[in-house]
Amino acid sequence: MRRILLIAIALFIGFNTVAQDTTANKNENKVKLSFYGDINPQIYADTRKVLEGREGEMLFYPLPESLDANGNDINAVPQLNMVAITSRLGLRIQTPDMLGAKVSGLVEGDFTGATGSGINMLRLRHAYMDMRWTNSELLVGQYWTPFVVHEVMPGTRPLNMGAPFHPYSRVVQARYTQYFGAIEAVGVAAFQLDNKSSGPLGGSTEYIRNSCVPDLTAMIRYNSGRLFLGAGYNFLLLKPRTSLVGFDGLTYTTNTTFASHSTTVFAKYQFDNWSLRMQAIAAENMDAHLLLGGYAESQLQYNTSDNSYYYNYKPFGCYTMWVDFGKSTGKWRPGIFMGYGETFGLDDSVDGWNIYGRGKDIHYLWRVQPRIGYYLSKNIQFFGEIEYTVAEYIEPYRHNVGNMRFILSAVYAF
């Protein structure tokens, strides 16, 4: 791994050197390459155990009470950790115009690993090419999922980026945007990779691959500079199983699919040096986007008319909304993030069914997260945040738990 990392750094430095040479070259075939990145150490402390990933840096919500023989809460354990895995390396690429479009690309990685077991290993964040015409744009590659609206992202610094109130996922996609002045129409066909839907095999891309239908999103957006707003719709089709074992112990093929539907509205308003961002989502089965949700799978069913076996499916999800208010200029940059989420779709009709996804035992969540940033220069910044998250659990009994996370971080950008 160390050799791979050294080779990657050497290649990036080499590309940067080539960029200087090609920029100086004035012929029409020039290629511009620019290397960038940052070093980002973070230290964080929690007042209790939390549902988390990547050594605790990816925080979702506090774990429920778990009482020992004396009635003490096993999960009421403070924790402290420090990592630098979100440090990034990136390469921007510009090539000559093609088919009348401005052509560019980007490759970016960090060290969070594709899975928890791969932490500290280089993983791909973004890798795409972009073709921009006067009134349209085509992006192909790995980039933020469409419900992560880049212009309306929270101003928080931790890895969770507001999850599970704000989605967090990158997908491989083909994204087409048509511009009508200030109005933008967006269509996206995407596939899962690092972030996967849950199911009988655990987290896997096989369920969407089996369906032969991409994860489809349509959006309409309005951008006047000061005001940015829009709405979107997502359609997800999964086939959780391609075979099953019947009551007779024999294996049969199955072709059952089911659909999930999600919607979002979002807005940003910029005034003076302040910005207000907000988003609301009604999400079905979007656990692959790090929201609450998933689906229920019935007990095995038998159809006597054609001697076939099958499962029924029912998606569940969450209503979530968040607001972020922050200052965007100056050395001191205060802000606050607030989020609320509530599950829906699970009732007595799915008692005894298999449940796949995240949050089946949660009624609601809320979070308040004030922050302060100090920009010593464009290269060096320091941040402090307090993230207080409360969860109401309905299983094994109804109760509330809260966690306070304290975060200090630094960024050295280059």
Q: What is the pLDDT of residues 382-402, one digit of tens each?
A: 999 999 999 999 988 999 999
Type of residue numbered 84: A
Task: Please give the helix or strand (H or E) that residue 173 lies within, else none.
Answer: strand 170-180
- Looking at CATH, the fold of the domain delimited by 2-413 is given as Porin (2.40.160)
Judged against a pLDDT cut of 50, whether residue 7 lies above it is answered with no
Pairwise pLDDT comparison (320 vs 9), residue with the higher score: 320
Query: Which residues are bridge partners to 89 per DSSP?
Result: 37, 109
Q: What is the pLDDT of residues 128-163, one digit of tens each?
A: 999 999 999 999 999 999 999 999 999 999 999 999
Of the pLDDT bands very low, low, confident and very high (cuts 50, 70, 90), residue 28 is low
Judged against a pLDDT cut of 70, whether residue 356 lies above it is answered with yes
Q: Which of 312, 255, 314 is nearest to 285 (CA)?
A: 314
Q: Tokens for 218?
A: 């349509």
Whether 85 contacts 55, CB under 8 Å:
yes
Whether 207 contacts 199, CB under 8 Å:
yes
Q: Which of 287, 289, 368 is nearest to 325 (CA)?
A: 368
Q: Which of 335, 401, 411, 400 is nearest to 369 (CA)?
A: 335
How far apart (Å, rounded) are the C-alpha atoms in residues 221 and 231?
A: 7
Judged against a pLDDT cut of 90, whether residue 294 lies above it is answered with yes
Q: Tokens for 4?
A: 């791979």
Q: Is the peptide bond before 164 cis (omega within 30 degrees of 0)?
A: yes
Task: Indicate if the alpha-carbon torsion angle 153, 154, 158, 163 is positive or negative.
Answer: negative
Q: What is the largest CA-CA distance in the chain?
A: 78
What integer pLDDT is reported at residue 117 of this predicted model? 80
The rounded mean pLDDT for the chain is 93
What integer pLDDT is reported at residue 307 of this predicted model? 87
Q: What is the DSSP string of 67-110?
A: B-TTS-BTT---EEEEE-TT-EEEEEEEEEEETTEEEEEEEEEE
